[in-house]
A and B are shown apart, each in its own frame.
Chain A
Amino acid sequence: MTTDTTTASLAVREAASGTARRRITRNDVMMYAAILVFGIVAPIIFPNYTYQIAVLWLMVLFAQTWDLVGGQMGYNSLGNIFFFGAGMYICTVTQIGLFTDVGAYTSSSDGGQFEFSTEQYYIGVAVGLVLAAIGASVLAVMLGWIVFGLRGPYFAIGTLGIALGAGELVGAWEWVGGGGGIPIPVYPGSGDGKAFFYYALCFGTAVATFAFLKWLYSTRFGLAINAIRDDEEKAEAMGIHTLRHKTVAWAISAFFLGIAGGLFGNMTGFIEPLEVAFPVITFGIFMVAMALLGGKGTMWGPVLGAVLFHIIKETTWTYFLGWQWVALGVIIILNIMFFQQGIVGWMQEKWPDLFGIEVDRSLVADTADDRARGRGV
């Protein structure tokens, strides 16, 4: 009996991830409207939290872009933060390099010897973000040829190695400031003005990421990466261009992470490799934890997971007095051991109709013993 229900619940969850093509319902529209309204009015109602909410949108983007490769395609990357850091450095170097010598700028201790005009600042940010997105994608394509030869845990460790290695390499690269980092060109305006400016960009990028992925999952691409997740050898045997799909998925993930990195560097005002650009054990792990918590392989799971995670973290982190890492570790372990489907996955099991999933419980029962017979031969 217990086995039957588990199989049934498994089945429901599994079907859900494949149904990317469901129609947009009234519920969806209300949800979108609520989020858009919140996104627009939040910095007006909570002006003191503009920065935190901007970071929240980046967290949503982190979870979504991780899920594209980890949830929808089944390649659990631990190194996606690499593209965040790469984008951050590309953006910063562009912002500086367009108008002055990068080496001279980074080697001076305050970096402030060069004054950017207002026009130069905005041009630098615009061009920098575009190049960050493109540059991160190009890096993903190049690295993809190497790491997509790895499967399962080897892929996870390989990608982790890339992110850790990048932090070390950049730390030794004096032209980009080495371990000492780079002060970012100063925003030409008030502190509030800067907060609103980057808030708008973070919110807009997160919304664009969601919309893009929603569209992507409705195309053949969505099914193809689900097929790779379910059985990559079968996908190969059916002639699917698996490497092409994997590389493009990673490049898309990198594209948005690159923009996020460029934005976050500017919001922080100062970048350095280990804590800001390639924070493997904070943002790098958070993106995995958030997607798992909300429900990997689902559209809304990573969004929900990121919001919950960020709120819990921001409200409790300071009270843990050093135990926050233990708490985070416990949450991740519980999540993986007992709650793999995440919140949205669990909701899909509980209320499949809401998600347009068909279940046949009678069938599930006889499948179990039929399979026992069939596979045993």
Chain B
Amino acid sequence: MSNLIEVRGVTKTFGGVVANRDISIDVAPGQITGLIGPNGSGKTTLFNSIVGYHPIDEGSIKFKGKEISKLRVQQIARLGMVRTFQQTRIYGKLSGINNMLISVPHRNASFGDMFRPYGHEHRERAEHLLEFVGLYQKRKLPSGDLSFGQQKLLEFAMALMNEPEILLLDEPTAGINPTLINGLIDRLKRANSEFGITLFVIEHNMRVIMNLAHEIYCLAHGELLASGPPEKIQNDQRVIDAYLGAH
């Protein structure tokens, strides 16, 4: 099968700042693809372009062979592409379980579906996924009460509830207690292998991404610096320089 996401020659500027310049990236189905780069290198901007958060200046973005660069956020989400946010976004006043229920897929939602109750199968799935991320005990608490790390896990569970074909995760380990990171990596891998969800992951932490991804793209100053399997990226002098230079 061909690539799930194909980004070709995408450029995005903010005023005078070129956040992405002529970027081309492929995300293969069933795999975990990584996107790395120093802070401000344009990773989140590329995610935002892919999910339709803002219009791009130039280039083409295809999802399952279909051009999506002119579609809006909701339309793209309903095609089966879901993203999580770097700052983590959940519905803070709703309980964990309600955050999960409202995240059921809306792919084929008809007008009348708005007025249906949630079914037993939705609740079961919600509880199952909360258990999967280790939040079952806290499911009835207002989610705004959860710690930052727990909110990140909840956001991840909500994304899974949406049954996406591909999940774009923006720094899933940022702000998470280092002792919990291994557990999270394990869950990401299981989402990929057990649920069959393709992952496209922005990650600042080199150790994490080397452990996780099959294929890695590295951005620097808005441009694509290198791409390849983890071993190759790890030893790429330009990547090492970019990271060292950034700190």
Contact = CB atoms under 8 A, between A and B. Distances in A.
A238 B158 CA distance: 9
B145 A234 contact: no
27 contacts: A10-B144, A11-B142, A14-B92, A14-B144, A15-B140, A15-B142, A18-B91, A18-B93, A18-B95, A18-B142, A219-B117, A221-B115, A224-B102, A226-B91, A226-B93, A229-B93, A230-B91, A233-B89, A236-B74, A237-B77, A238-B106, A240-B102, A241-B106, A358-B141, A367-B147, A373-B175, A374-B149
B220 interface: no
Given A226-B94, A358-B141, A237 B83 contact: yes
Interface of A: 10-12, 14-15, 17-19, 216, 218-221, 223-224, 226-227, 229-231, 233-242, 244-245, 248, 358-360, 363-364, 366-367, 370-371, 373-375, 377
Nearest to B77: A239
A218 B117 contact: yes
A220 B93 contact: no
B114 A239 contact: no
A342 to B, nearest CB: 15
B124 to A, nearest CB: 16
A220 B89 contact: no
A17 B93 contact: yes
Contacts of B98: 18-19, 223, 226
Given A237-B82, A360-B141, A220 B114 contact: yes
B138 interface: yes
A223 B101 contact: yes
A351 to B, nearest CB: 16
Contacts of B92: 14, 230-231
A227 to B, nearest CB: 5
A142 B145 CA distance: 39
Contacts of A238: 77, 82, 102-103, 106, 158, 162
A14 B84 CA distance: 23
A359 to B, nearest CB: 8
A374 B147 contact: yes
Q: Which 7 A-B pairs have the closest CB atoms?
A: A374-B148, A239-B77, A15-B142, A14-B93, A230-B91, A18-B94, A374-B175
Contact of B117 (A10, A220, A235, A240): A220
A220 B175 CA distance: 32
B115 A219 contact: yes
Contacts of B146: 363, 367
A11 B145 contact: yes
B23 interface: no
A375 B175 CA distance: 7
Contacts of A373: 148, 175
Contacts of B107: 239
Contact of A237 (B73, B101, B148): B73
B90 interface: yes
Interface of B: 51, 73-74, 77-78, 82-83, 85, 87, 89-95, 98, 101-103, 105-107, 109, 111, 113-118, 138, 140-142, 144-149, 158, 162, 174-175
B109 A241 contact: yes
Contacts of B51: 237
A226 B162 CA distance: 18
B91 A234 contact: yes
A233 B84 CA distance: 11
A210 B105 CA distance: 30
Given A224-B102, A226-B91, 5 more contacts: A223-B102, A226-B93, A234-B85, A239-B106, A360-B145
Contact of A245 (B83, B94, B114, B162): B114
Contacts of A360: 138, 141, 145
Given A15-B142, A240-B74, A375-B148, A231 B113 contact: no
Residue from B94, B117, B146, B148 whose CB has the most chain A CB atoms within 10 Å: B94
A15 B93 contact: yes
A358 B94 CA distance: 12
Contacts of A248: 114
Interface centre among A11, A226, A366 (most CB of B within 10 A): A11
A170 B83 CA distance: 48
Contacts of A234: 85, 89-91
A253 to B, nearest CB: 15
Given A236-B77, A239-B105, A371-B148, A15 B95 contact: yes
A377 B106 contact: no
B148 A220 contact: no
Given A239-B162, A358-B140, A367-B145, A231 B91 contact: yes
Contact of B74 (A15, A18, A226, A241): A241
A216 B73 contact: no
B149 A370 contact: yes
B145 A363 contact: yes
A235 B158 CA distance: 11
Nearest to A376: B175
A15 to B, nearest CB: 4
Nearest to B81: A239
B88 to A, nearest CB: 8
A358 B77 CA distance: 32
A3 B73 CA distance: 37
Contacts of A226: 91, 93-94, 98, 102
